[in-house]
Structure 1
Amino acid sequence: MAVKEDTRLTALEVMRDAPVIPVIVLYDVAHAVPLARALVAGGIRMLEVTLRTPQALQCIEAIAKEVPDAVAGAGTIRSAADAQASALAGAKFGVSPGYTRSVGKACHDIGLPLLPGVATGSEIMSAQEDGYTQLKFFPAMQAGGLPMLKAWQGPFGDVTFCPTGGISLANAPDFLALSNVACVGGSWIVPTDAIAKGDWGRIETLAREASQLKR
């Protein structure tokens, strides 16, 4: 299934919408809609629902159908089949933990904007060869953090990154201050315990804090 042309985003639009893209893990479909509404109320619209649980695709579908102000995306895309299933569920963008040509081609063919994961210069070059210049730097802290992103500003000055992995409210401003960073990915605004308890007010507050970060 291809994403409809009139609703298609670009990867850069996804990255520039807010300073943070939440990295969401959901185990209960009933949590999807109230979580999305809380995040939107806090100023966060681009929602990365990771394909780490059996319920993930149903959660994406519920958000896509019931929360029109949210933009549901699929994270942890690792195969062409993942990309297809995500688009069928209503995802408007995809995020992958790494990059393969087959995943890149599948997303291109169905019109699903993709933020491919990279951790090395060679991976950046592979993604660029296939037309991808908006990339997820993952796992950011473990793969070199701020010094690595600063080092990449020279040889990869035409690439924009979304560092993800070990990002928090405390260190996000340092990443967002870099010229080659458009946003960060983070799970701190969607704590597992808050989701389990249905504490949507706490999540809205965390989202509002994140949406006001400077970049």
Structure 2
Amino acid sequence: MKLLEGHPVIPVVVLDDATRAADLGRALVGGGVPIAEVTLRTPAALDAIATMARNRDLLVGAGTVLTPDQATAAAQAGARFAVCPGLSRAVVERCRMLGLPVLPGVSTATEVLAALEIGLEAVKFFPAATSGGAPAVAALAAVFADVRFVPTGGITAANAGDYLALPSVLAVGGSWMVPRSAPIDEIRELVGGVRDVAAAAGR
């Protein structure tokens, strides 16, 4: 997924209040992490995506996309990519119709093969920490050499480098720098450390 190249760490955002979205977007851009996956887990998510999408320096996607209709709503709100916890052919087909790059979730070789069979070259590895972590990604990559992985789920500042050190990993998704209810000042400070995490892994 070329869209994500140059973005080794993707903040996974849960927003209960869309009025926080603009400040959060500015904090990400200001900290050198100009990307966000806003999960569709709250009623405020689509409004938050719409607000953040107005920031032209920020690449905004929708996470936790479970249905084709959610993919459509996310695209209409301004999302530029979609992320799913699992592999749904219906969601992938809708995203293709919309011209919306999509990362479906996988955790097994069978699921990676299914993704390849429908023409996907990049997938979300989820939930990463409980599905074997970086060693599991490395094992899958040994078999599926052309697949790029975006591990998400249980990624922290302490273990992100283990994943980013793998050539098969396109990026990691994490929420450690965007705690759900944290003040914006705290988020700014946490975001400031993300580039150090990526740099330590050679990214």
- TM-score scaled by length of structure 2: 0.94
| Displacement over 4 Å in runs of 4+ | none
SS in 2 for 1:107: helix
Separation in structure 2 between the aligned mates of residue 37 and residue 174 of structure 1, nearest angstrom: 28
Query: How far did 1:211 drift?
Result: 2.3
Which structure 2 segments of 5+ residues have no match? none
Separation in structure 2 between the aligned mates of residue 12 and residue 129 of structure 1, nearest angstrom: 20
Query: How far did 1:130 drift?
Result: 1.3
- In the alignment, which residue of structure 1 is the partner of 2:176? 188
Q: 2:3 aligns with which of 13, 16, 22?
A: 13
Q: 1:53 aligns with which of 42, 46, 53?
A: 42
SS in 1 for 2:189: helix
- In the alignment, which residue of structure 2 is the partner of 1:7? none
Query: How far did 1:131 drift?
Result: 1.3
User: Is contact 2:53-2:59 (8 Å) kept?
Assistant: yes
SS in 1 for 2:193: helix
User: Is contact 1:19-1:210 (8 Å) kept?
Assistant: no
Query: How far did 1:153 drift?
Result: 2.0
- In the alignment, which residue of structure 1 is the partner of 2:135? 147
- In the alignment, which residue of structure 1 is the partner of 2:191? 207
Report 1 or 2 for greater relative contact order, CA contacts < 8 Å, sequence distance ≥ 6. 1
Specify the code of the residue in structure 1 equivalent to 2:136.
M
Q: 1:28 aligns with which of 17, 26, 32?
A: 17
The aligned length equals 199
| Cα-to-partner distance string for 1:118-155 (whole Å, 9 max, x where unaligned) | 11111111111111111110000111111211111221
Specify the code of the residue in structure 2 equivalent to 1:57.
L
Specify the code of the residue in structure 2 equivalent to 1:91.
A
| Cα-to-partner distance string for 1:64-112 (whole Å, 9 max, x where unaligned) | 12x2211111000011101100001010111000011101101011100
* 2:150 is the counterpart of 1:162: yes
Query: How far did 1:168 drift?
Result: 0.4
Separation in structure 1 between the aligned mates of residue 14 and residue 52 of structure 2, nearest angstrom: 14
Separation in structure 2 between the aligned mates of residue 61 and residue 193 of structure 1, nearest angstrom: 20
Specify the code of the residue in structure 1 equivalent to 2:193.
E
Q: 1:92 aligns with which of 80, 85, 88?
A: 80
Separation in structure 2 between the aligned mates of residue 17 and residue 206 of structure 1, nearest angstrom: 20
Specify the code of the residue in structure 1 equivalent to 2:46.
L
Query: How far did 1:208 drift?
Result: 2.3
Query: How far did 1:13 drift?
Result: 2.4
User: Is contact 1:17-1:46 (8 Å) kept?
Assistant: no
Which structure 1 segments of 5+ residues have no match? 1-10
User: Is contact 2:28-2:35 (8 Å) kept?
Assistant: no
Specify the code of the residue in structure 2 equivalent to 1:132.
L
SS in 1 for 2:149: strand
Separation in structure 2 between the aligned mates of residue 32 and residue 148 of structure 1, nearest angstrom: 34
Identity of matched residues, % = 47
Specify the code of the residue in structure 2 equivalent to 1:200.
I
Specify the code of the residue in structure 1 equivalent to 2:156.
S
Output the aligned Cα RMSD.
1.1
User: Is contact 1:19-1:184 (8 Å) kept?
Assistant: yes
Query: How far did 1:46 drift?
Result: 1.7
Separation in structure 1 between the aligned mates of residue 192 and residue 43 of structure 2, nearest angstrom: 29
SS in 1 for 2:130: coil
